[in-house]
Structure 1
């Protein structure tokens, strides 16, 4: 069911949104609801950024992000406003494993990004020496974290490297394609950072996090997808903002931004667009280029942001060819610690995880693997067929899979995920401080507040609301 975007017609003003990923689309949606006119410009020929669907063996599947955190409201609210509320769907199974020490082992329950509350659940994943190291943790002196600390360094110091290498690293690698020993705990796992600041035992800190979550009585699924694919969300939002009166132009790169007496000139290859405000929802390297003349300090900070690249290998098999492969049953997939030296870093059994995929092709089994971590991206230069073969090799060792797929799709996400090193949030605050010195200009997207869809939507809402306040203040001055 389509919904009309309700505009507050008491305001006037025109905002250009640069970038047609989910953050840019969410910003356009918010600006329209606030009564402002919007033109959205996207450099490529399609909308959605890292959200994209495609087909494998005739089955529509996600070729980018496949789910969103449901216990943050922003993405669910946007999907519902765009008419997708009836298609939101939790995973059919969330039983994941860790492929480590040459076996698929159940992912321990009761952890916070791999940091356990109950060490007894880690048997098989950790060695006896690793378990003994955890047992020493409550007797350690408190560890100071200062303004920020790397997740891996802090957790290894409290619980030993095995916890990081076998659990924290693969989980963070799935979210950021990053290195746990570089990633900011304050930015990536803020609840763990707050627990660490309280001092004392990290194990007790995880238990406190779990108790607080229980006290909030959060119910319902942790994650949700969309029947037909999360990649349908951008087009649904785009349709909503078009109905609300926005103009969307694809294949329209922005070549320059110039501050004028009355607002902004946005230069494209087809001319200049005058705007009262600009929301810059582009990757860091693009935002850096566009801000170089008008906001050099923010430009320099953005230029220093690093990205990781990755590839997804999506495969479809005949179910009849998998009859004897028991390890593919029931699980949603598995993670792979880099310390085990495998090529793939994860596998998702899409036909198990998403009911809509299974229903679309009952005779097929769809799965996907991912390769590529920060600093380990040579795999992405391999030919498609080679990536398929190395994925099949790892899957055979992990699950016993011996069949060949009937169809494959390799999707490369070059510069797909911004990295959040120690001090990231301080850098973000400085970028926003510099940008805010120019009225009618704001930034948003995955580089600032989190790479997940709800975080991107929240970032977009913040930018849109601040632009709206800027323009309101200018109109009453």
Structure 2
């Protein structure tokens, strides 16, 4: 006897939501009918590729780490392996103490495997403090609930300069957050694992995480991967492979359980539309998840409410022919750095795209600036023209490049990055425990186990597996159909 396709609604069309749809198709084939509901007018979430000076440029996430295999594996699975690119050999730099120098090697988010490598980026007093860290009393995490702010732990062990000049700019690039507000356990889990296994000092923990240094002539595998055509290629291929119904510009206003499964309320309160489904996956930012779960899973909603979000912006510039960027992949800016005239820098980092990526090298001189950290609302309140002017002034101060761009793009990401505060892992455990008690419901996305592309893919895959298992148990006979109606 044949059965009608079961119905899954995926709320959120970012990388996590699209991974859910793609994986469900692979797990269940034509036995499932998937509808992806996206509030904006485009898919991809924080993956966004736009045209700059006639070439595709990512103005959201531009790359993914390769030490987590989910990104590379999905690219290959979707037939995009030929588009995979890795960074060139240009090295990153950091502007700290008023000077731009090479970013010290063998550090894990600012924590050095050997304190001696920090000499060039710290003051003499700061360097002496850092050098003493391995001799401090052994550091022992106090059980699985142990967690502290990154700034407190690194400041106590290495001194404030390591926080301001290394940890802050590196963490700011990942989370758009501040080290004082980010928890060690969620942002540096390998380091915590090494401490729990007896490393004793942060230096020893970083050395264990990073492994031995390179021998002469050795090279490490590439750390990052990108797509020559931009991350939009990944979004497009996922959407196509999922075979899902893609509904853009649709707001999901409510979610409630029914005897048959779930009912979603879409559109406006004045003229709502309703969608029935056998299972639902929420792949949306924490504030949206909190609202949708408030009635049916209040414990999960309360946990989501503890996850704050930060905003940031990307400014992409195409410079005229002849403009030369430094021979580096980019520059991070330490906290508190200023122009020679005392003006604070606006950007927190620059990526010299045409130096970092070979697929940009033949497209002219292209670069990106990242702007905005948690709590810096005034910076992002500037209009696009002001923001471009401020970023150009930063670039001139740092590199001497004053050429007027031939084209510029400003892309703002309001509330785009969850903040992994102290206790974040416990918060996520509470979310997953509460959701785990509700059949036919799953969650995914950057609010959970990592903000990078591979981590989001992993949450999407896990959510799809959970839903597929539920549907296999609850399979129903022919007769039901997925429909919408207006009430």
- Report the Cα offset of residue 32 of structure 1: 1.1
Q: SS where residue 319 of structure 2 aligns?
A: strand
After superposition, the C-alpha distances for 1:436-472 in whole angstroms (9 at most, x for unaligned) are: 2210001110000100000000011111111122222
Displacement of 1:73:
1.3
For normalisation by structure 1, the TM-score amounts to 0.91
* 1:452 corresponds to: 452
Give the superposition deviation at 1:285: 1.0
Matched, 1:426 2:422: no
Query: How far 1:11 sits from its partner (Å)?
Result: 10
Cα pair distance change 1:251/1:115, threshold 3 Å: same
The 2-side partners of 1:136 and 1:226 are apart by: 43
Q: What is aligned with 1:223?
A: 224
Q: Does 1:380 align with 2:380?
A: yes
In 1, Cα distance between equivalents of 2:232 and 2:95: 28
8 Å CA contact retained: 1:310, 1:377? no
Which residue pairs with 2:340 in the alignment? Answer: none
The answer to whether the 8 Å contact 1:184/1:422 transfers is: yes
Q: Is the CA contact (8 Å cut-off) linking 1:192 and 1:206 kept in structure 2?
A: yes
20-29 vs 348-357, which deviates more? 348-357
Deviations along 1:7-54, whole A, 9 cap, x unmatched?
Answer: xx9995221111000000001111111113211111111000000011
Task: Give the structure 2 partner of residue 262 of structure 1.
Answer: 260
Indicate conservation of the 8 Å contact 2:353/2:360, yes or no: yes
Tell me if the contact between 1:11 and 1:34 (Cα under 8 Å) persists in the aligned partners: no
Gap runs ≥5 in structure 2 = 338-343, 477-487
1:249 counterpart = 2:242: no
User: Which of 358, 361, 368 does residue 358 from structure 1 map onto?
Assistant: 361
Q: What is residue 311 of structure 1 aligned with on the other side?
A: 313
- Write the deviation string for residues 42-70 of structure 1: whole angstroms up to 9, x where unpaired: 11110000000112222221111100011
CA deviations on 1:339-392 (whole Å, 9 max, x unpaired) are 324221000111111222223x2xx31111111000112111101111111111
Structure 2 residue aligned with 1:466: 466
Find the aligned partners of 1:62 and 1:144 in 2 and give their Cα distance. 41
Q: CA RMSD in A?
A: 2.0
Matched residue, 1:437: 437
Name the residue aligned to 1:72: 68
Q: Which of 14, 27, 30 is the matching residue for 2:20?
A: 27
1:64-108 CA deviation, whole Å, 9 max, x = no partner?
110001121111222222221110100123510001122210011
Q: Distance in 2 between matches of 1:266 and 1:220?
A: 46
| 2: CA distance, partners of 1:138 / 1:89 | 38
Contact map agreement 1:27 1:463 (CA 8 A) in 2 = yes
User: 8 Å contact 1:348–1:367 — kept in the other structure?
Assistant: yes
1:119-198 alignment, distance < 5 Å: 119-146=115-142, 147-197=146-196, 198=198
How far off its partner does 1:193 sit? 1.1
Q: Which residue of 2 aligns with 1:417?
A: 417
Alignment gaps of 5+ in structure 1: 1-8
Displacement of 1:119: 2.0
String of CA shifts for 1:114-172, please: whole Å, max 9, x gaps. 11112222222001111111222222112343321222211111111111111111000
- Map of 1:80-119 to 2, 5 A cutoff? 80-119=76-115
Note if contact 1:31-1:464 (Cα within 8 Å) is conserved in structure 2: yes
